[in-house]
Chain A
């Protein structure tokens, strides 16, 4: 299991790049958004949280 300090940035990065072909569907739609667009938007919104936790872990703030 890689350390959390690697996973925290790697998860959103992978979700927004190599994982996109795996979720490339219109249905089910979420809040009206096609699934793939909802997936991307959700990860964009979550990324600050992942990076903030990483900063806490590294004692940056």
Chain B
């Protein structure tokens, strides 16, 4: 045991968060904000800056706490985290340049804008906007739950972190309404550096100190818990069928969130997107170290159950390392919650202002009105997420499931837009309705039919409905603008 000082560790967390905000504000202080600059960074991010932004938004506190927590609590099912991201980047190699091109040609700003460009239905766009808005809020709430764990652990469990979570979160909302997407990208630089440091510490330094090396830790783990290291075959909970369907679901849904669409539009060129799809699996590899961290924690500090497993490797740090180490690790974790949260707030706010207020009610349609309106909306979304978090406590994994099962239902519409011209607003809308009709009750009741991931079952039905309805509708109905020659899909605009 080492002496523990909550004052030292919490001061370090606060310093890390504040220093990151100051750094990011300095990075953007000369940029003049208009909606294009504010929401999609003026479509100017090169390969490296885009890589930092994507890694910054993708590797959230769930990766940080959840990967170790799953390895600690379940073992092999945690391997899915390595697999799905990589499968998503393979899809992204084809998808991201196509989405970027549509964004550039039609000056798209938000996720639902993409559907306007391809399907030309205001009703569909507004419905999608409302759904995406509703789904992003629990994803933000997830970051708040993670932040609470981190701050509680940094304070050695001696104080209730609710108030500090609220303060940190409002701070980050004020930050993003000042700095926009470019600010999130600058903040991601510090976040990525600190998180990589924390992951190396967790996955290499901890096993070395307690077992001699990561390999020696694994030897010990194989002797004590061999059954945890491979999946249970078949249809049982977290078995092999669950593994495959979950990887397919989450890889499909990976880039469907409005925050991912925005990040995609922010690229400078198709090439910048494509290079990122090639390079990002390398970042994915460091998650292997978080699995090591979870395994080590189970050997060093067994006995955590249920939602407590999310605290596994931080428990080891708090027990055996000085307060300043805990402060740095928790600080990195806090950034891993706050930086993605800033991107999510921006995405949800822009969806609300552009697609709900603008497309549905015709207000804030001008560029001049949109930036201030989006800023106000950032605060509204932040307060909404904070309210949901205070009112309905849920675990990190539950919140992630709600998000993924829902957001993936937009995938058939996005893929059909790019490769299958017969699909139109009617078929995509019908597919979405069917998908949600299956996903909502299964997610709510936590049912996985035959071991199949609930969201994946819904996705299959959704895609089938899109195909059937498209084929049933007379082929002439998808109007002439889409049947132009050439192998690129013909775009059409709403108005």
Contact = CB atoms under 8 A, between A and B. Distances in A.
Interface of A: 9, 12-13, 16-18, 20-21, 24-26, 29, 31-37, 40-41, 43-45, 47-48, 51-52, 54-55, 60-61
A33 B215 CA distance: 7
A40 B247 CA distance: 12
B86 A29 contact: no
B146 to A, nearest CB: 24
A44 B214 contact: no
Contact of B240 (A20, A35, A44): A20
B244 A44 contact: no
Given A16-B83, A44-B284, A32 B89 contact: no
Contacts of B230: 24-26, 34-36
A7 B232 CA distance: 29
Contacts of B86: 12, 16, 43-44, 47
Contacts of A29: 218, 222
A47 B83 CA distance: 11
Nearest to A11: B90
Given A24-B231, A36-B79, A17 B222 contact: no
Interface stretch (B12-20, B34-42, B179-187, B270-278): B270-278
B244 A21 contact: yes
B219 interface: yes
A21 B219 contact: no
A12 B90 contact: yes
Interface of B: 76, 79, 82-83, 86-87, 89-91, 93-94, 214-216, 218-219, 222, 226, 229-231, 233, 240-241, 243-244, 247-248, 251, 271, 274-275, 277-279, 281-282, 284-285, 288, 291
Contacts of B216: 32
12 contacts: A13-B91, A20-B231, A26-B226, A26-B230, A29-B222, A32-B215, A34-B76, A36-B231, A40-B83, A43-B83, A44-B86, A48-B282
Given A17-B248, A36-B76, A54-B93, A24 B284 contact: no
Nearest to A52: B278
Contacts of B94: 9
A26 B222 CA distance: 8
Given A16-B87, A36-B79, 5 more contacts: A21-B243, A24-B231, A32-B219, A33-B218, A45-B285
Contact of A44 (B82, B91, B251, B274): B82
B271 A60 contact: yes
Contacts of A47: 86, 89-90, 281
B240 A51 contact: no
Nearest to A9: B90
Contact of A17 (B87, B229, B271): B87
B215 A41 contact: no
A31 to B, nearest CB: 7
A20 B275 CA distance: 27
B74 to A, nearest CB: 13
A22 B418 CA distance: 33
B278 A48 contact: yes
A25 B87 CA distance: 21
B403 to A, nearest CB: 21
Contacts of B279: 48
A45 B83 CA distance: 11
Given A9-B90, A44-B285, A21 B240 contact: yes
